[in-house]
Structure 1
Amino acid sequence: MKVSGGRAVVDILVKEGVKKAFCVPGESYLGVLDALYEHPQIELISARHEGGASFMAEGYAKASGEVGVCMATRGVGAANLAIGIHTASQDSTPLVALIGQVERPFKEKEAFQEVDLVGFFRHLCKWTVEIDRVERIPELLHRAFHMARSGRPGPVVVALPHDMLEDEAEMVELPVYRSLPPQPHIEEVKQAVEMIQKAEQPVLIAGGGVIHARATPLLVEFAEAMSIPVVTAFRRYDAFPNLHSCYAGWLGFGTPAYLLEAIRDADLVVALGTRFSQVGTQDYTLLSEKTRLIHIDISPDVFGKVYAPSLAVTADTRAFLQQALQVAVPSDPARQERTKALHAKYIEFSEVKADYKEDWVDMDGLLHDVVSHLPKDSIITNDAGNFFGWLSRYYRFEKPNTYVGPTSGAMGYGLPAAIGAKLAKPDKTVVSFSGDGGFMMTVQEIETAVRYQVPVISIVVNNNRYGTIRMHQEMHFPNRVVGTNLSNPDFAELARLFGAHGEKVKKNSDFVPALQRSIASGLPAVIEVVTNPEILSVSQDKTKARRNMVCNQ
C-alpha cells in the first residue's frame, strides 16, 4: 500500500518508540502534523516558541533516557530551534529534529524562508540529512535515530521538503536497530585498575557518560573498593551521590580552592565519561603536563582533544565499571583518610546557613529552605545566571537522574526543560530555577504548561538585571555599567493571568508557605523571589553589598 511521506515519517516515529514530540506547528511539515492526528499514542506538545520546544525535547530526553523529538518549520523556525540543538550537542543528548524545507523545485532560488538546512546545522549536529525521495524515509529516519543514541549521543537534524511529504510510495519495512556500546579490553581495564591502585593521590572525575549509562551505582561500588575521591564534571552533579563519603565536590563556576588544589596535586586523574569542558577545566588549566591521565569514554574522538592521556580506553562507562569491579583491589588506609578528608571539606563548603532577611530574600536562606523542604528525588532544572552559584554550592544531589541543566549555558532553558522533564517523569516534583533575565526569554511557555496541565514549579530570582554580565562589568569596567539594568512585570500576577499559580516572596520567612501552596495547587506555579540587586554572587560580602545599597538609595 502506498503512503504519503508525512505518514511514513510518523510510522517511523511510532516504531522508534516516540511518545512525545515537541513543536511549533508550521506549514512546511503539515504532512507530518496531519499524520500525527492518526497516531494518538504520540502526544504532540505544541509550544509557544521553537526555542522552548527544543529545550522541552532536550529536557525530556535527559529525564527519560530516550531520544527527544522536536519539530519546526523551515528557515525562521529552524533558526529558533537551533539553541536547543546546540545545547543537545554540548550536553551529548540524543535528539532528532525534524524540520520542514522548501519545495524541491524551488531550492536555490531564495524561496520563501529558504535556508540550506544541512549546511546551517552541520557543525551543530552529529549528522544532518535532507530526505529528497519519499521512499528513502524509512532508511534515513531509522538511521537518524540510531545516530542520535549511539556512541556519544547527540542531535541529528532531518530536513523534510514540503512537497516530498506529499509524495506517495510503497515503503520498505525496516527494523529498529541498536548497536551495543563498546566494551573495553580486559587488559586495558587491568592496567587502569593497577595504575589507580599504585597512585598515592588519585582523583576520579565523573561526567555525563556515567549518567547516560545509568552507571552511578556501579561507580559508587568502584569508588568504595578503590577508596578514590570522586569529583563530578561541570553540571553533572547527580553522577555521584553528594553525601557519599567518597564525594569530593564538583567542577565548574565557583569550584572551591581545596578541590582545585587536590586535582592539581593528584598524581593520577581518572576521567570517566567526560569531555573536559572549558568551564570544568578552568579554561583548560586544570591538569598539568605532568599529570598522568586515564581517560575512559564511549567516543575515541575526545581523547587528546584537551589533555593527552597516559591510557585511553574506548568503552561505555557501565561496561568499564563492571569489568573493573571484578579486578578491583582495596587501597591502603592513607588513601581512605585522604578521601574522607576531601569529603569533609566538601560538606563544610556546601553547608548552607539559614540566613533570613526581612527587606529582601537572602539566597543562603532560600537554599536552606529549598534543601530542607523539597523531596530528595525532585528533578532540578536551571537557566544560566549568577543565581546558580547558590544552587551549585548548597544543593546536594543525593539520587541519580535528578538534575537537568545545560552545559552550554543557555538562558531560557529552565522552564521549558522542566516541562519536558515533568512529562518524562510525571510522578516527580520538578522545579526550575531562573533569573529574571533568563525567565523572560521563555516565559510564554507558562501557557504551554497550563494548556497541557504540567505542574512544574518555577522559582524566579528577581534582581532586575542581567546579573552575570553586570558582575563582569563591575569587575572589568568599574563605574561603567551599560545594558544590564532591567524592569520586570509582577511575575506572580503574570503567572495567574496565564492560568498558573503565582506567588511573590519578598522575605525569607514567606518562602516555605509559598512553596507548599504551589505544590498543593496542582497547577504550574511561579514563585518570584525578590533579592538584593547589589549581591551578584554567592561569594560576595553581604555587609559591603548592604552598605552599597543604602548609599545608592
Structure 2
Amino acid sequence: MNAPEHKTLHGAAQQARIDVPIPSQGDERLWGSDVMAAAVRNTGIEYVALNPGASFRGLHDSLVNHNGNRDPQMLLCLHEGTAVSIAHGYAKVANRPMGVVLHSNVGLMQGTMGIFNAWCDRVPMLVMGATGPIDADKRRPWIDWIHTTTDQGALVRQYTKWDDQPASVPAAVEALSRARQITDTAPKGPVYVSLDAGLQEARVAQMPAMPELQRYMPSAPPAPNAEALSRAVALLSSARKIVMLVGRVSRDTADWARRVDLAHALDARVVTDFKLGAGFPTDHPRHVAPPAAFSPSAVSAALCDAEVILSLDWLDLAGTFKQAFGGHAPRARVIHASLDQQLHGGWNMEYFGLAPVDVHMACDADTLVAALASALGARQAPPCEPAGLPELATDQVSIRAIAGALNEHTQGQDICVVRLPLGWNGSYRHFKHPLDYLGGDGGAGIGSGPGMCVGAALALRGSGRLPIGIVGDGDFMMGVTAVWTACHYRIPVLLIVSNNRSFFNDEMHQERVARERGRPVENRWIGQAISQPDIDIAAIARAQGAHALGPIIDVRDLNQAMAEGLAVVRAGQVCVIDVRVLPGYDTNLSGEVTRSASAPAEAA
C-alpha cells in the first residue's frame, strides 16, 4: 500500500463512539444549512475542525442533526489556529484536504496564520466561514454588525487559491464542489468559502441532487513538454556530474522508489531540505549531506562541481544558488520542474528569487521523474553501504540527547517525525520512508507544531506508524490546546517539548545585533527568556487530559521517560514529555552544545 492510501481506513470507525448525536425525528423541514452540510459530505471531506461560532450555528446544527456528525466528523478545537494547524498536519500525511470552519471575520482573523502556513507549504485545505446576515434587516443589534464583513474573503485572498461567498443555496453547493476541486489541484493550497448566515437559516423546499463527485475531481498533473523533456534527457545523458535537488515531492512510496532509481540511473548526487518532508533516503551513499535549513558547505561544493543540476520543485532555488555561487550564475546547466509559478502573486515573496534555468518544465516533480526514468531506462543499483549515525551519547540534556534516546527506543519501529526544532542537526536520524519526516509548517511562524502533530496523528491512526513531534517550548505554549483535542478524540500522539526556556533563536539574533553595535551580548536573554517562573509544561499538558512526564533534567530520566512515553502512545493515548534542554545549536556534532551562558542561572 502506498504511503498516503491508508489514511481514511480506520479513523471514522474509531471516532464513531465519540460525540454521537441523538437521532433527529419528527420534523421534516429542510434548511439551507442542511443542503450545505450535505454538499460538504459530498466532497468526501471526512473531518472538519472548528471552534464554535454563532455565524455558522445553522451549519453546525446541520452537521450534527442532519449529517449525524459523521462524514464529516466534527473535531472541537479550543482555538481557531489549532483547527487550521490540525487540518494542515492531516493533509501532509493524507495528501487530501480536511475541512475547517471559522467563525465570521473574528474567527477567520484568528486562523490566518495557519492558513498562511498551509499556503506556503502548498497543502490542500477546505476552509469554510460564515458572515452576515448580509441582509442588514435581518441582523441582530450589535453582534451581527461587528461580525459582518462585506468582503470577508479579502482577509485571506492573497494566500488562498480561491475564495467565494455564494449568494444562494444552489450556489453554495457549486462553490463547495469547486473549492474541493481547486484545493486538490496541483499546485495545491487552501481555499475559502464564506456561507451567509441568512442563507444557512433559510427554509428550502427540498434537498437538491448532489453533484457526482467523480465528475468534479481535479485533473492529473500536466506532463512535461515533449521538446523540453528531450532537451533534459540529452543534458542528463551527456553529463558525468549531476546533482538532484529533491524539493516538494509526494509521499507516495512508488514515487519515492522512482526517485531512488533515477538517482542510480544518473549516478547523481542528491540533496534534500530540512524545511520539507522526507523525499529521498538520507542514509543513501549518494545523499550529499544531512538535510539542513540552509545549504551546508558540502552541498555548495557539490553544486559548484556539477555539470547538470536537476531541480525537482526545489524550495528557493535562487537562494540555494546564491549560497553556492555568491552573486554568479551557476556554470552547470539547470533543469527545473515546478508548477509553483502558477500561484505567484505580488503580496508576499514566498516565490523567492528568480533562478537561472536552462530547461524549465511546468509540471509536477514526480511526473517528470517518471518521464525521465522511462526515457533513460532502468539501471541496477550498485551495492552500497548505508551511512551510519554519529555517536549521540552525552551527559547533557540537549536536543542531541533527545535524538539519542529517540533512536534507541524506536529502533526497528515505524514512526513519523511530524516536527523538529531549529536546533536539530540533520545527522541525528536517518529518514528512509516518505512518512519518516513531514517537514516544517511553510510559513515559519510559531504555534503550529502541536496542532500539526495532532492532525498528522489523526491521518496516521490505524496505520501502525507512531506519530512523534519534537517541538519548542514557545511553539508548544502557543498551540497547547491541540493536546485537549487529541485527548478528547483519542488520537494517540507523542509530543516531546525541547524546552530551553527561551525564544533562543531570537537570542542569537540579539547577540548578532549587539556584536555589530559594540553592545553587551550578555543582555541577549532579556525579553527572550521564559523563566522566573519556569512554566510547568507537564502540568499544563495534564490539564488537557494527557499523560505527562517531566520536567526531565537528567539524561538517565530522559531514557526512562522516552520508553514510557512511547508505551503510552502505543496504548492509544496522548503523551507529552517536558525535556529541559540546554539552549544551543549542535552544528558541528563535536559533542558540545553551545550554551546560553550569558543568561542568569534561572534563565539558562
TM-score clears 0.5:
yes
Counterpart check, 1:517 vs 2:564? yes
Give, in angstroms, the shift of residue 251 of structure 1: 5.6
Give, in angstroms, the shift of residue 89 of structure 1: 0.5
Could you tell me which residue of structure 1 aligns to residue 529 of structure 2? 485
Cα gap change, 1:310 to 1:456, in 2 (>3 Å): same
Contact 1:21 1:43 in 2 (8 A): yes
Could you tell me which residue of structure 2 aligns to residue 352 of structure 1? 390
Q: Which amino acid aligns with 2:565?
A: S
Cα gap change, 1:57 to 1:420, in 2 (>3 Å): same
Secondary structure at 2:130's aligned position in 1?
A: strand
C-alpha separation in 1, matches of 2:250 and 2:400: 30
Which structure 2 residue ranges, 5 or more long, are not aligned?
Answer: 1-27, 345-350, 515-520
Structure 1, residues 368-412: CA drift from partner, whole Å, max 9, x if none?
A: 2212322553111226xxx43325342211111232331321312
C-alpha separation in 2, matches of 1:125 and 1:285: 34
C-alpha separation in 2, matches of 1:250 and 1:77: 40
C-alpha separation in 1, matches of 2:197 and 2:156: 19
Aligned partner of 2:240 among 192, 197, 200: 200
Could you tell me which residue of structure 2 aligns to residue 314 of structure 1? 362
Give, in angstroms, the shift of residue 246 of structure 1: 2.5
Contact 2:253 2:434 in 1 (8 A): no
Could you tell me which residue of structure 1 aligns to residue 146 of structure 2? 112
Could you tell me which residue of structure 1 aligns to residue 422 of structure 2? 388
Q: Which amino acid aligns with 1:227?
A: D
Q: CA RMSD in A?
A: 3.2
Cα gap change, 1:283 to 1:12, in 2 (>3 Å): farther
Q: Which amino acid aligns with 2:276?
A: R
C-alpha separation in 1, matches of 2:511 and 2:297: 23
C-alpha separation in 1, matches of 2:56 and 2:157: 21
Counterpart check, 1:293 vs 2:334? yes
Contact 1:23 1:70 in 2 (8 A): yes
Could you tell me which residue of structure 1 aligns to residue 577 of structure 2? 527
Could you tell me which residue of structure 1 aligns to residue 404 of structure 2? 368
Aligned partner of 2:555 among 493, 496, 508: 508
Could you tell me which residue of structure 2 aligns to residue 244 of structure 1? 284
The equivalences for 1:380-529 within 5 A come to: 380-382=417-419, 387-404=421-438, 405-426=440-461, 427-477=464-514, 478-481=521-524, 482-487=526-531, 488-504=534-550, 505-521=552-568, 522=571, 523-529=573-579
Secondary structure at 2:249's aligned position in 1?
A: helix
Cα gap change, 1:408 to 1:281, in 2 (>3 Å): farther
C-alpha separation in 1, matches of 2:291 and 2:80: 31
Could you tell me which residue of structure 2 aligns to residue 41 of structure 1? 71
Contact 1:229 1:247 in 2 (8 A): yes
C-alpha separation in 2, matches of 1:280 and 1:442: 31
Give, in angstroms, the shift of residue 117 of structure 1: 1.7
Secondary structure at 1:204's aligned position in 2?
A: strand
Secondary structure at 1:472's aligned position in 2?
A: helix
Could you tell me which residue of structure 2 aligns to residue 189 of structure 1? 229
Give, in angstroms, the shift of residue 363 of structure 1: 2.5
Give, in angstroms, the shift of residue 313 of structure 1: 1.3
Cα gap change, 1:548 to 1:151, in 2 (>3 Å): closer
Structure 1, residues 262-296: CA drift from partner, whole Å, max 9, x if none?
A: 12332321111334268766679778424421111
The equivalences for 1:79-158 within 5 A come to: 79-106=109-136, 111-115=145-149, 116-158=151-193
Which structure 1 residue ranges, 5 or more long, are not aligned?
Answer: none
Q: Which amino acid aligns with 1:451?
A: H
Could you tell me which residue of structure 1 aligns to residue 93 of structure 2? 63
Secondary structure at 1:245's aligned position in 2?
A: coil
Cα gap change, 1:69 to 1:75, in 2 (>3 Å): same
Contact 1:31 1:165 in 2 (8 A): yes
Cα gap change, 1:286 to 1:173, in 2 (>3 Å): farther
C-alpha separation in 2, matches of 1:72 and 1:480: 41
Cα gap change, 1:237 to 1:73, in 2 (>3 Å): closer
Structure 1, residues 306-365: CA drift from partner, whole Å, max 9, x if none?
A: 21321111223333222211221589x9xx99xx8xx99xx48xx3323322xx513223
C-alpha separation in 1, matches of 2:594 and 2:274: 29
Q: Which amino acid aligns with 1:490?
A: D
Give, in angstroms, the shift of residue 168 of structure 1: 4.0
Secondary structure at 2:444's aligned position in 1?
A: coil
Q: Which amino acid aligns with 1:532?
A: L
Counterpart check, 1:16 vs 2:43? yes
Q: TM-score, structure 2 length as denominator?
A: 0.81
Contact 1:125 1:154 in 2 (8 A): yes
Name the % identity: 23
Cα gap change, 1:552 to 1:529, in 2 (>3 Å): closer
Contact 1:456 1:524 in 2 (8 A): yes
C-alpha separation in 2, matches of 1:547 and 1:392: 22
Q: Which amino acid aligns with 1:485?
A: A
Secondary structure at 1:392's aligned position in 2?
A: coil
C-alpha separation in 1, matches of 2:539 and 2:311: 47
Q: TM-score, structure 1 length as denominator?
A: 0.88
Give the stretch that moved more between structures: 254-263 or 521-530: 254-263
Secondary structure at 2:148's aligned position in 1?
A: coil
Secondary structure at 2:549's aligned position in 1?
A: strand
Structure 1, residues 212-252: CA drift from partner, whole Å, max 9, x if none?
A: 79621111111111111121235224111112232223664
C-alpha separation in 1, matches of 2:249 and 2:432: 18
Counterpart check, 1:180 vs 2:215? no
What is the aligned residue count?
Answer: 537
Contact 1:382 1:413 in 2 (8 A): no
Secondary structure at 1:295's aligned position in 2?
A: strand
Cα gap change, 1:401 to 1:287, in 2 (>3 Å): farther
Q: Which amino acid aligns with 1:494?
A: I
Structure 1, residues 76-106: CA drift from partner, whole Å, max 9, x if none?
A: 1101111111111111101110011121123
Contact 2:130 2:197 in 1 (8 A): yes
Q: Which amino acid aligns with 2:566?
A: I
Contact 1:263 1:286 in 2 (8 A): no
Secondary structure at 1:479's aligned position in 2?
A: helix
